[in-house]
Structure 1
Amino acid sequence: MPRSLHGGRHELGQNFLTHRPTLGRILTLVRQTPGSILELGAGDGALTRGLAGLGRPLTALEIDEHRARRLQAALPTVTVRAADALRHPLDADVVVGNIPFHLTTPILRRLLASRTWHHAVLLTQWEVARKRAGIGGGTMLTAQLAPWFEFGLEGRVPSWGFAPQPAVDGGLLTISRREDPLVAASDRRRYEAFVGAAFTARGSGLPAIIARAASTSPSRARAALHAAGAAGCRLPRELRAQHWAGLWRELGRAR
């Protein structure tokens, strides 16, 4: 196949999914969602063919113009675009794809800043999927996003399930936009700043950390943790989405 204008496989970060159980799992997850579908990084269409079989409006993005042209010829019922996932509008109900590992962070940032989609099923590096899903403790970024999004880990994909084989395993990450956010959208920036302060504040014990982050007293922070159902937590990474939202409500007067 001719070289793309955007570079070869290494420049494009293309590791095509060949692991059939994962292809089937992705289709099952997408089947459980409603509406139109946007696939990021369609490649040679291993996943696109299954998505097309769902009988829903489907747009497939592929940055390699030669692969995009071949895929369009093979799947005439699918809208195939030779386009960059970092630039094309995320204008579908469901976003799905095997994300180039080196572009995981910018694609996730763009996705989570968009207000158009409702569900996402993404194949990323294992550690990224694990962290976003809060396995082993929450991260600051996940805690900042949790009032508006729900994250799930749907499986680990061995590195040999890709061709060519990458250096690390993949992880199947699901993201759903909450129909009823736990924190008002108008509070988002202040809430994110509060969570950021909590993850970076010093203190002996969680009440002291929350007190410093919220500029309040340790006794009030302790009472807020109890009211939020987080009295048994010792560190910010142990707090769940409902805990953070409860703290935000309880400490409103202190703010």
Structure 2
Amino acid sequence: MSRNRSSRSADLRLPPGNDPGGAHELGQNLLVDTQVIDRTVALVPRADRPLVEWAAGRGALTLPLARLGRPVEAVEIDPRSAARLGRIAPGNVTVTRGDILRHAPPSEAYDLVCNVPFHLTTPVLRRLFTLSGWQRAVLITQWEVARKRAAVGGTTLLTAQWWPWFTFGLDRRVPASAFRPRPSVDAGLLVIDRRREPLVPVADQDRYQRFAAAVFNGRGRGVHEVLARTGVGRSDVRRWARANGVRPGALPRDLDARAWVDAYATSARRRPR
């Protein structure tokens, strides 16, 4: 990644006139609350590796991130915002005009920050999970999305499917007043870390995720019965439940990461080789 300030695009010159707020057609809600900005930057680990910022906007996070002294690549699709940011960014920032869903990340390890456009939340998360290299992602997402990913109030299928490889933490709620234009809902600060040691081998990813989907969508009065219907012996289900503190009548949403992994391992032992 280049340490020289640049803006990679064919023509990013601003049109005449004043630059208004975030482009509505791009779903931009620009972050303006300095306390939220400071907290977001504080969640970035102190490490000697590059930073990537998706949906950089006008640089509310980019410039504070640059002060960490690490190379930063700021990716922004709006040509006016990218042009402005390219002019004011310091020398350790590279501005890339492009679609964050198609952005080619660095080949080396890096950390990622994104004020996620709300209408792109699910595609951004799915894209993120399939990328290798990043170690921590600090994301600003819709509040309910942040809660669900962090399994606050119950686990969702998407979280269960990726828990063996990532941890999810909810740092705080971000009020709608922190953005311009103001969105209709609050946001949350979500921190996702790649596990140094996966709980399930990467080679088993597809099989594990199919298993998690089968359990979430399976029929039965509680996860004990669902597991038994998938072919796990009832005695094995009881041993699994005791080992993981899973109460009778528990639902898939009640399981934590370790219980999911142990359920998968128990199921795998029953499969013919």
User: In the TM superposition, what are the counterparts of 1:110-125 in structure 2 within 5 Å?
Assistant: 110-125=127-142
**Matches for 1:196-215 after TM superposition, within 5 Å:** 196-212=213-229, 214-215=230-231
Number of matched residues? 249
Contact map agreement 1:97 1:121 (CA 8 A) in 2: yes
- TM-aligned CA deviation for residue 182 of structure 1: 0.4
Deviation at 1:32, TM superposition (A): 3.8
Deviation for aligned residue 1:225: 2.3
Given the alignment of the two structures, is residue 24 of structure 1 paired with residue 38 of structure 2, yes or no? yes
| Cα distance between partner residues in 1 of 2:135 and 2:111 | 6
- Cα distance in 2 for residues equivalent to 1:173 and 1:88: 21
Query: Which of 62, 67, 83 matches 1:53?
Result: 67
> Bigger CA drift: 88-97 or 101-110?
88-97
Which residue in the other structure is 1:129 paired with? 146
- Label 1:230 to 1:252 Cα distance change in 2 as closer, same or farther (>3 A): farther
- SS of aligned partner of 1:118: strand
Structure 1 counterpart SS, 2:269: coil
How far does residue 243 in structure 1 lie from its aligned partner after superposition?
Answer: 0.8
For each residue in 1:2-55, what CA deviation from the matched residue of structure 2 results, as whole angstroms up to 9, or x when unmatched? 49xxxx811100100112211011111114454110001111111111001000
How far the C-alpha of 1:140 sits from its partner, in A, is 0.8
List runs of 5+ in structure 1 lacking aligned partners: none
- For the residues of structure 2 that align with 1:32 and 1:199, how far apart are their CA atoms? 38
Query: What is the SS of the residue equivalent to 1:143?
Result: helix
Query: Which piece of structure 1 moves more, 96-105 or 198-207?
Result: 198-207
Shift in Å at residue 96 of structure 1?
0.2
- DSSP-derived class of the 2:139 partner: strand
Partner of 2:242 in structure 1? 226
Aligned partner of 2:252 in structure 1 is 236
Q: What's the offset of the Cα at 1:242?
A: 0.8
Q: Give distance in 2, aligned partners of 1:117 and 1:67.
A: 25
- Aligned match of 1:191: 208
Cα deviation code 1:155-203 (max 9, x no counterpart): 1111111000001111111111101000111111111111111111111
Residue identity in the other structure for 1:19: D
Decide whether the 8 Å contact of 1:207 with 1:219 is kept in 2.
Answer: no
Alignment of 1:1-255 (within 5 A): 2=15, 9-77=23-91, 78-91=93-106, 93-212=110-229, 214-227=230-243, 229-232=244-247, 234-255=250-271
TM-score, length-scaled by structure 2 = 0.87
- Decide whether aligned partners of structure 1 residues 215 and 188 sit closer, same or farther in structure 2, where only a CA change above 3 A counts: same
**CA distance, structure 1, for counterparts of residue 222 and residue 154 of structure 2:** 17
Q: Deviations over 1:91-144 (max 9, x none)?
A: 251110111110111111111011121110010111111100000010011011
The 2-side partners of 1:122 and 1:33 are apart by 18
Take 2:113 and 2:105, find their aligned partners in 1: how far apart are those partners? 11
**Residues 66, 90 of structure 2: 8 Å contact kept:** no
Q: Secondary structure at the residue paired with 1:202?
A: coil
Query: How many Å apart are 1:224 and its aligned residue?
Result: 2.3
Question: What SS does the aligned partner of 2:65 have?
Answer: helix
% of aligned pairs identical? 48
User: Using the alignment, how far apart are the partners of 1:239 and 1:141 within structure 2?
Assistant: 13
Which stretches in structure 2 are left out of the alignment for 5+ residues? 1-13, 17-21
State the secondary structure of the residue aligned to 2:211: helix
Q: Which amino acid aligns with 2:59?
A: G
Question: Partners of 2:195 and 2:267 in 1: how far apart?
Answer: 23
Contact between 1:138 and 1:240, CA under 8 Å: does it hold in 2?
yes
Q: Could you say what the CA RMSD is over the residues aligned between the two structures, in angstroms?
A: 1.7
Give the aligned residue type for 2:231: S
